[in-house]
C-alpha cells in the first residue's frame, strides 16, 4: 500500500470519481423521478456529489431485476463452487481498491480514513472471502425416517433479499448482509443509508466486474421513509435484513405484517455495559480498551461500551486513566493519519449528541470533554466526553446516544453490577474485566446480551454470530448462523417403493 500521508489522501480524494446513480439489472441508472440528494462530507460540510434519490418506483424496478435474475438461475442454481469463485474475485477486487473504498466511507460519513483502510475495507474483503470459502463445504441432511423413504432436508435460498443498512460502517454493514445472502444464491436489493451511499454503489460495480450476473445485486440509494419503506412493504421481497435503530426495526416488522409476511431480521440499537472489577490487575489495559470501546468510530458503534460500571475502590483511579485517554483522543481531519477521532456523521446527529451532553451537564459530573468543536470553522466534531456521579435512571445511562459519550457509575457488589448492566431495554453486547475466572464465567452467564467480551471489548469475528437480545433485535450477522436467515428449510420425501400411505 502506498504511503498514507494527509497529502496522499487528499490527492486521492481529489481524483475520486463518485458512482452516484442507482445500480440495478447490472447497470447504473438515474432514479425514475430524476431526483437526487446531496452526499455531504461532515468534516467539511462540502457536497461530494448528487446521488440518485430512489423511491417506490425504483424499488419496483430493482426488485423486478432481482426476481428475474433469481428465476433465471444463473446465480441461484449455480454450483456452490461457481458462486465461490465469483465472491473470491470480488474479495480480491475490494483489496485491489482498498484505498478508494476506505476513502468513500471516510468522506461520506466522517470516519478516520486510517481506520477505514485498516479495519472496514479489509473487513469487507475478508467477509466476502469467508462466505465464499464456506459455501462449498456445507452439507444438507437426510432425515432418519422409517425405511422405504429418503427424506431430504435442504436449505434453499429464500429468493429476493432486501437489505436496509445504517451509516456507521457503510461498507461493512452492506457486506455483512450481502456476502451471506449472495453466497447461498439469493438476489439482493440493498438500500444504503442516505448519509453514506457511496461505497455500496462502488461495491455493486466491483461485484459486477467479479462476474456476478446482472440483477443479482442491486443498490438503491434513497431515504428511509420512501425507498426503505417501499422495500419493507414490497410484495415480492422474501426476506428483509435490517440493521439500524430499534424504532425503525419495529417498523419493518409492521411492514411485513401489512404486506406479504416476509421474514424480517432486525439488528438494532444498543447501550452496552462494560464492567470493571477491582480484581482486574491490568487496569491500564482495561482503561485503554474502555476508551477504545466508546471512542472508536466517534462512538457511532451499535455495540459501543457507553455504560461503564466500575467497582468503587478503583473508580477514582479509572476515572483518572480514562480522562487521560479521552484527552489524547481529540477529533481531527478524518484524512489525517495523525487524527485520533473523526467527524460525526451529520449535523442532526451532532445536535442530538450535544443535547444529551448539555442535559448531562445539569445532572452529572462532567469529567472531560463536553464541547462541540469546529475545524477551520466547519464540520461536525464532538470532543470525547466522560460523565460520572449519575443515577442509573439518567438518560445518559439509558438512551443510545451513538456518539463519543461515556457514563461512569460505581458499584459495590457483583450482584449490583449485574443488575445495573441488565437494566436496559437493549441486550446487544457487554464486556467485563476481572482476573478471577470463576467470576468471569459467573457474570458472563448472567448478562442478557448477544455477545460477552471478557477482558476485552466488542470482540467479533467472521466465525462468531453478532446480534442481540431484547430490543437489540434477534437477527444475527456473521458466522454460518447468518446463512439461516437467507435460506428456507425444504423437505423432499422420496419413497423407494410407492405406496398408498
Binding site for ligand NAD (CB under 6 A): 164-168, 191, 193-194, 223-225, 228-229, 232, 243-245, 248, 251, 267-270, 302, 400, 402, 428, 468, 472
Query: What is the DSSP secondary structure assignment for residue 213, as one 8-state letter?
Result: P
Q: How far is the CB of 460 from ligand NAD (least distance, A)?
A: 10
How far does the chain reach from its first CA to its final CA, in angstroms? 67
Q: Judged by CB, which is closer to ligand NAD: 123, or 228? A: 228
Burial class (CB in 10 A: 0-12, 13-18, 19+), 374: exposed
Which single residue is written with the C-alpha cell 452496552? 272
Q: How far is the CB of 61 from ligand NAD (least distance, A)?
A: 18
Q: Judged by CB, which is closer to ligand NAD: 28, or 223? A: 223
Strand partners, 381: 373
CA 207/CA 88 separation, integer angstroms: 10
Q: Judged by CB, which is closer to ligand NAD: 123, or 213? A: 123
Q: How far is the CB of 224 from ligand NAD (least distance, A)?
A: 2
Among the listed residues 54, 239, 280, 302, the single catalytic one is: 302
Q: Judged by CB, which is closer to ligand NAD: 99, or 400? A: 400
Q: How far is the CB of 364 from ligand NAD (least distance, A)?
A: 22
CA 22/CA 158 separation, integer angstroms: 24
Active site residue 267: yes
Q: How far is the CB of 297 from ligand NAD (least distance, A)?
A: 10
Q: Judged by CB, which is closer to ligand NAD: 67, or 229? A: 229
Q: Judged by CB, which is closer to ligand NAD: 94, or 449? A: 449
Which among 117, 167, 111, 31 is positioned nearest to 343, based on CA atoms?
Answer: 111
**N residues, the chain:** 501
Q: How far is the CB of 189 from ligand NAD (least distance, A)?
A: 12
Q: How far is the CB of 400 from ligand NAD (least distance, A)?
A: 5
Among the listed residues 53, 194, 267, 300, the single catalytic one is: 267
Which among 293, 297, 315, 321 is positioned nearest to 305, based on CA atoms?
Answer: 293
Burial class (CB in 10 A: 0-12, 13-18, 19+), 82: middle
Strand partners, 39: 49
CA 143/CA 157 separation, integer angstroms: 20
Extract the C-alpha cell encoding 88.
473470491
DSSP three-state, residue 469: strand
Q: How far is the CB of 357 from ligand NAD (least distance, A)?
A: 18
Q: Judged by CB, which is closer to ligand NAD: 213, or 222? A: 222
Q: Judged by CB, which is closer to ligand NAD: 331, or 468? A: 468
Which among 405, 403, 406, 447 is positioned nearest to 428, based on CA atoms?
Answer: 447
- Say how many C-beta atoms besides its own lie within 10 A of residue 345's C-beta: 26
DSSP symbols for 294-352:
HHGGGG--TT---EEEEEGGGHHHHHHHHHHHHHT--B--TT-TT-SB---S-HHHHHH
Active site residue 133: no
Contacts of 470 (CB under 8 A, 6+ apart): 424, 425, 426, 427, 448
What residues are annotated to the active site? 267, 302
Amino acid at each position: 500500500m502506498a504511503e498514507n500521508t494527509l497529502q496522499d489522501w487528499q490527492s486521492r480524494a481529489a481524483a475520486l470519481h463518485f458512482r452516484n446513480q442507482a445500480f440495478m439489472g447490472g447497470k447504473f441508472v438515474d432514479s425514475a423521478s430524476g431526483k437526487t440528494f446531496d452526499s455531504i462530507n461532515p468534516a467539511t460540510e462540502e457536497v461530494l456529489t448528487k446521488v440518485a434519490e430512489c423511491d417506490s418506483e425504483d424499488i419496483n424496478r430493482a426488485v423486478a431485476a432481482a426476481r428475474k435474475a433469481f428465476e433465471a438461475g444463473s446465480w441461484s442454481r449455480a454450483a456452490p463452487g461457481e458462486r465461490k469463485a465469483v465472491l473470491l474475485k470480488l474479495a480480491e477486487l475490494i483489496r485491489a481498491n482498498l484505498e478508494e473504498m476506505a476513502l468513500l466511507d471516510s468522506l461520506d460519513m466522517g470516519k478516520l480514513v486510517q481506520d477505514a483502510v485498516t479495519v472496514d475495507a479489509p473487513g469487507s474483503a475478508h467477509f466476502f472471502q469467508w462466505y465464499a470459502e464456506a459455501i462449498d463445504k456445507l452439507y444438507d441432511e437426510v432425515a432418519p425416517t422409517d425405511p422405504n423413504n429418503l427424506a431430504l432436508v435442504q436449505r434453499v435460498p429464500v429468493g429476493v433479499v432486501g437489505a436496509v443498512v445504517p451509516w456507521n460502517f457503510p461498507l461493512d454493514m452492506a457486506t455483512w448482509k450481502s456476502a451471506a445472502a449472495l453466497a447461498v444464491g439469493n438476489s439482493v436489493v440493498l438500500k444504503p443509508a442516505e448519509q453514506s451511499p457511496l461505497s455500496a454503489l462502488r461495491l455493486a460495480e466491483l461485484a459486477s466486474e467479479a462476474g456476478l450476473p446482472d440483477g443479482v445485486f442491486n443498490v438503491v440509494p434513497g431515504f428511509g421513509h420512501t425507498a426503505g419503506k417501499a422495500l419493507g412493504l414490497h410484495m415480492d421481497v422474501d426476506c428483509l435484513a435490517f440493521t439500524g435503530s430499534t424504532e425503525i426495526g419495529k417498523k419493518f416488522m409492521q411492514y411485513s405484517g401489512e404486506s406479504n409476511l416476509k421474514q424480517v431480521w432486525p439488528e438494532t440499537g444498543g447501550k452496552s455495559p462494560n464492567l470493571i472489577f477491582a480484581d482486574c490487575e491490568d487496569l491500564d489495559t482495561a482503561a485503554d480498551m474502555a476508551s477504545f470501546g466508546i471512542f472508536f468510530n466517534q462512538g457511532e458503534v451499535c455495540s459501543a461500551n457507553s455504560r461503564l460500571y466500575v467497582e468503587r475502590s478503583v473508580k477514582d483511579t479509572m476515572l483518572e486513566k480514562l480522562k487521560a485517554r479521552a484527552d489524547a483522543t481529540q477529533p481531527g481531519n478524518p484524512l489525517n493519519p495523525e487524527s485520533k477521532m473523526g467527524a460525526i456523521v451529520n449535523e442532526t446527529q451532532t445536535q442530538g449528541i450535544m443535547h444529551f451532553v448539555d442535559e448531562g451537564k445539569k445532572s452529572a459530573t462532567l469529567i472531560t470533554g463536553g464541547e462541540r468543536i469546529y475545524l477551520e470553522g466547519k464540520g461536525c466534531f464532538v470532543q470525547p466526553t466522560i460523565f460520572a456521579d449519575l443515577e442509573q435512571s439518567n438518560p445518559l445511562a439509558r438512551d443510545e446516544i451513538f456518539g463519543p459519550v461515556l457514563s461512569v457509575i460505581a458499584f459495590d457488589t457483583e450482584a449490583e453490577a449485574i443488575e445495573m448492566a441488565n437494566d436496559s431495554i437493549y441486550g446487544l453486547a457487554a464486556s467485563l474485566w476481572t482476573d478471577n475466572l470463576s467470576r468471569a464465567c459467573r457474570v458472563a452467564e448472567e448478562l442478557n446480551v448477544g455477545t460477552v467480551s471478557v477482558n476485552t471489548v466488542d470482540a467479533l469475528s467472521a466465525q462468531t454470530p453478532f446480534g442481540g437480545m431484547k430490543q437489540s433485535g434477534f437477527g444475527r450477522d456473521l458466522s454460518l448462523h447468518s446463512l439461516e436467515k437467507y435460506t428456507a428449510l425444504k423437505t423432499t420425501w422420496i419413497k423407494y417403493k410407492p405406496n398408498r400411505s
